[in-house]
């Protein structure tokens, strides 16, 4: 069965096929959202939203891209939307706090611990995730898809709807920026 045939069947209400699609792709969707958002409950929310959208827009699927690319694209877009929403919320909270200072202690979110990192790399991975979190959105998505999802640049270009050259440059810049960011942590780490 081709990708298009599968999606047509899902659009017609084939529940079993939808479940098998979920079984096949939910893990990739969850892990990429988790790496971008660095928050387990938000990543689970994204998985839900992605598959609800897949179900609802199945009838519009033209088959121009593979299901894999399509699902990754929805995941990345929704994750970036969530990041923007988080930034907006943070900004408005900042302004509210300026006028309503109630002396309540500000709670900083703890550093992200990816559940799949091996124990001996936990400390380094925590530092790397902290640096990844400071990357611009596009660089972050390209880096996560390339280094953590292990996708080829051609597919990343299709997912992000950019040229392959642009993706290559995004990944390159992400690596340079990560090195710069890690350098800021260096004094604390080595002393």
- Given 52, 93, 96, 176, the residue binding another protein (CB under 8 A): 52
User: Rounded CA gap, 155 and 143, in Å?
Assistant: 13
Q: Does residue 113 bind another protein (CB under 8 A)?
A: no
Residue of 86, 134, 154, 189 that binds another protein (CB under 8 A): 189
The answer to whether 173 contacts another protein (rule: CB under 8 A) is no
SS (H, E, C) 89-152: HHHHHHHHHHHCCCCCCCCCCCCCCCCCCCHHHHHHHHHHHHHHCCCCHHHHHHHHHHHHCCCC
Query: Which residue number, 46 or 160, has a Cβ lying nearer to another protein?
Result: 46
Give counts: helices (H), strands (E), the chain.
8, 0
Q: Sign of the C-alpha dihedral, residues 71, 175, 153, 1?
A: negative
Of 30, 15, 132, the residue nearest 71 (C-alpha): 30
**Residue from 1, 16, 98, 118 in contact with another protein (CB under 8 A):** 118
166 binds another protein (CB under 8 A): no
Helix (H) or strand (E) holding 162: none
Subset of residues 54 to 83 that bind another protein, contact rule: CB under 8 A: 55-56
Which one among 2, 5, 19, 176 touches another protein, defined by CB under 8 A?
19
Instruction: Pick one of 25, 51, 61, 72: the residue that binds another protein (CB under 8 A).
Output: 51
- For another protein, the binding residues (CB under 8 A) are 19, 22, 26-27, 30-31, 34, 43-44, 47-48, 51-52, 55-56, 114-118, 121, 124-125, 127-128, 131, 147-148, 175, 178-179, 182-183, 186, 189-190
């Amino acid at each position: 069965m081709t990708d298009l045939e599968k999606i047509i069947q899902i659009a017609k209400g084939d529940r079993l096929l939808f479940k098998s699609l979920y079984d096949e792709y939910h893990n990739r969707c969850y892990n990429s959202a988790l790496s971008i958002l660095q928050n387990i409950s938000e990543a689970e929310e994204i998985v839900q939203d992605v598959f609800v959208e897949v179900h609802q827009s199945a009838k519009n699927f033209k088959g121009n891209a593979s299901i894999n690319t399509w699902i990754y694209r929805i995941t990345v877009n929704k994750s970036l939307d969530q990041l923007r929403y988080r930034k907006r919320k943070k900004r408005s909270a900042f302004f509210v706090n300026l006028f309503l200072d109630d002396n309540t202690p500000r709670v900083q979110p703890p550093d992200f611990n990816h559940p799949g990192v091996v124990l001996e790399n936990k400390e380094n991975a925590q530092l790397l995730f902290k640096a990844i979190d400071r990357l611009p959105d596009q660089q972050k998505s390209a880096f996560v898809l390339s280094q953590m999802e292990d996708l080829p640049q051609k597919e990343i270009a299709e997912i992000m709807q950019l040229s392959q050259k642009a993706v290559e440059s995004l990944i390159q810049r992400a690596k340079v920026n990560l090195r710069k960011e890690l350098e800021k942590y260096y004094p604390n780490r080595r002393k």
